Chain A
Amino acid sequence: MIGPLVGVLFDGFAYGMLLFLLSVGLSVTLGMMNFVNLAHCSFAMLGGYVTVSLMNDLGWPFFATLPLAFLAAAAVSVVLERVLYRRLYRASDLDQCLLTIGIVFVSVASAAYIYGTVQQPVQMPDYLQGSFVVMGVNIAVYRLFLVGAALAITLILVAGLEYTRFGAQVRAAVDNQRMARGLGINVGGVFAVTFALGSGLAGLGGSLAIAIVGLDPSFAFTYLIYVLIVVSTGGLGSIGGSFVAAALLGISDVAGKYYVPQLGSFLIYLVMLGMLMWRPAGLFGKR
């Protein structure tokens, strides 16, 4: 009785961590820079395709592809940020939505043109496959790895934003751009690096996610709604909030599908509604 329940909780938590890995970059760019980047999952998809290409075409080991997935997404985002995004930092939310949803369409079409519309096969290394049993609970190795990766990224991000001078400059630039410039902070540079970091994290999240959710050109649209749910229910700009929201949403989604199959995939939206009615600014949001 307890074993299956704990197993469902673990699987749900691992799925939540997958959502967190996909969404944490958006928490940084949307929450801290106030930029509505609907193309966030396009960067995640790019990371997934980088990993698939390097593994399947060039025979790279899985872990070696992860830094490249991060860097590729970050590099593409820097180009887009310098060429397109920065022009809309002070634009309305609608303008930002229209630009970034356009980028999603372009990315989906590009992926379909290059890779076709089929799911990409991906073979994880042996040591990340299979499962083991602990006290009657079946633990999938890859899901355990996802949980560890999410925890490590959370710690690094929180430490980086809260305890470094660069993190303070990011927060200062978000608080008051004019004053930040008046003190000599290169606000444009800080935002560009922050945007690259957020997009790189999306690329990394995409690489880590494809083993569980698969990869095809619809990825950029399919997971967009989930990352928006996580960031909005967690509270804009709160990495800890995104972590908690992702965990709750992941657990409720998996548990719902297991125990209340009639509701199926709809339960995650009900949970979101309930959480936002309880705390409209999100779990840890301030605005």
Chain B
Amino acid sequence: MAETLLALHDVRAGYGDAVVLDNVTLEVPAHGSLAVLGRNGVGKSTLLLTIMGHTSLSRGAIVWRGENISRLASHLRPRRGLGWVAQEREIFSSLSVEENLTVAARPGRWNLKAVFELFPRLAERRQSKGNHLSGGEQQMLAMARSLMINPSLLLLDEPLEGLAPIIVEQLTGAIRRMAIEEGTAIILVEHHADIALTLTENAIVLERGTIVYRSGSRELLDNHALLDRFIGLKLAESADTPPAFSGQPG
């Protein structure tokens, strides 16, 4: 049985006195993958921010490889092996692409050569400043930058949001390669539920900060009624029909 990388036990968290997440319990094994679904404002991003230590944790525990990291400083969590791609990308605008990639890099299989192979476009723009990139390029850079710290678990917060279909295709391929070929565990928060469910093994659905459903991703993808009820996703085709993208490695 695979080692449990990350476990959340009865977590209650939020911002100041405002509680956003409550009674959240989940586990992610090594090389595992979890889709986090739900409508807007249910606490999906807050869940990732809580794991990274950027919210107020008022109850419960966050356990990383058996170590309780609930009170661990946020900058020490990436050093334990947690990677995070923020929803707003949050590229360092005054740094070049290459500096963004190397500023916090840690030794491992993901290095400049490897991320440039994954995202050739970044190699072409390596001297450009972060604020001179397009939205798609910024998203590639945000993912590549997190890979450069060689995480065991990568938290991806809506990496496909607002991007052109061709960029979505490239990024989906990259996530598939990270998760399936390279074995990096992922937690994927994504509005494109159909894509998220094909990239992950398991899924949870959040409502008002609480997990209201959990199952295998395939099982949820096949259950159109539940998808419609929980996230308003109406899939017209048969569940056997692959979603409308081809996940080729970028």
A positions within 8 Å CB-CB of B? 165, 168-169, 171-172, 174-176, 178-187
B226 within 8 A of A: no
CA distance A186 to B72 in the complex (A): 13
User: B101-109, B161-169, B186-194, B209-217: which one contacts chain A?
Assistant: B101-109
CA distance A160 to B149 in the complex (A): 23
- Which stretch (B92-100, B117-125, B229-237) binds chain A? B92-100
Are A181 and B92 within 8 A (Cβ)? no
Determine the residue in chain B with the shortest Cβ distance to A184.
Answer: B78
B198 contacts which chain A residues (CB < 8 A)?
none
Task: Assess whether B145 is in contact with A183, with CB atoms less than 8 Å apart.
Answer: yes
B94 adjacent to A175 (CB under 8 Å) = yes
Contact assessment for A181 and B94 in the assembled complex, using a CB-CB cutoff below 8 Å: no
Structural contact, B106 and A184, CB atoms closer than 8 A: yes
Beyond A172-B95, A175-B92, is A181–B75 a contact (Cβ under 8 Å)? yes
The number of chain B residues with a CB under 8 A from chain A is: 26
Instruction: Please give, as numbers and ranges, the residues of chain B lying within 8 Å of A185 by CB-CB distance.
Output: 75, 103-104
B54 proximity list for chain A (CB < 8 A): 178, 181-182
Flag whether B86 is at the interface (Cβ < 8 A).
yes
Contact B103 A172 (CB under 8 A): yes
Of B74, B93, B99, B100, the residue contacting A181 (CB under 8 A) is: B74
B84 at the interface (CB under 8 A from A): yes
* B75 A186 Cβ-Cβ under 8 A: yes
Contact (Cβ within 8 A) B103 A174: no
A178–B55 alpha-carbon span in the complex (Å): 11
Whether A169 contacts B104 in the complex (CB less than 8 A), given A179-B86, A183-B78, comes out as yes
Contact between chains at A168 and B90 (CB < 8 Å): no
Interface residues of B in 174-204 (CB under 8 A from A): none
Q: Which residue of A lies closest to B48 (CB)?
A: A182
Chain B residues whose CB sits within 8 angstroms of the CB of A174 once the complex forms: 94
Residues of B within 8 A of A178 (CB): 54, 90
Q: Which residues of B contact A176 (CB under 8 A)?
A: 90, 92
Question: Would you give 26 A-B contacts (Cβ < 8 Å), ordered by A?
Answer: A168-B95, A168-B99, A169-B103, A169-B104, A172-B95, A172-B103, A174-B94, A175-B92, A176-B92, A178-B54, A178-B90, A179-B86, A179-B90, A179-B92, A180-B104, A181-B53, A181-B74, A181-B75, A182-B74, A183-B84, A183-B103, A183-B146, A183-B149, A185-B75, A186-B75, A187-B75
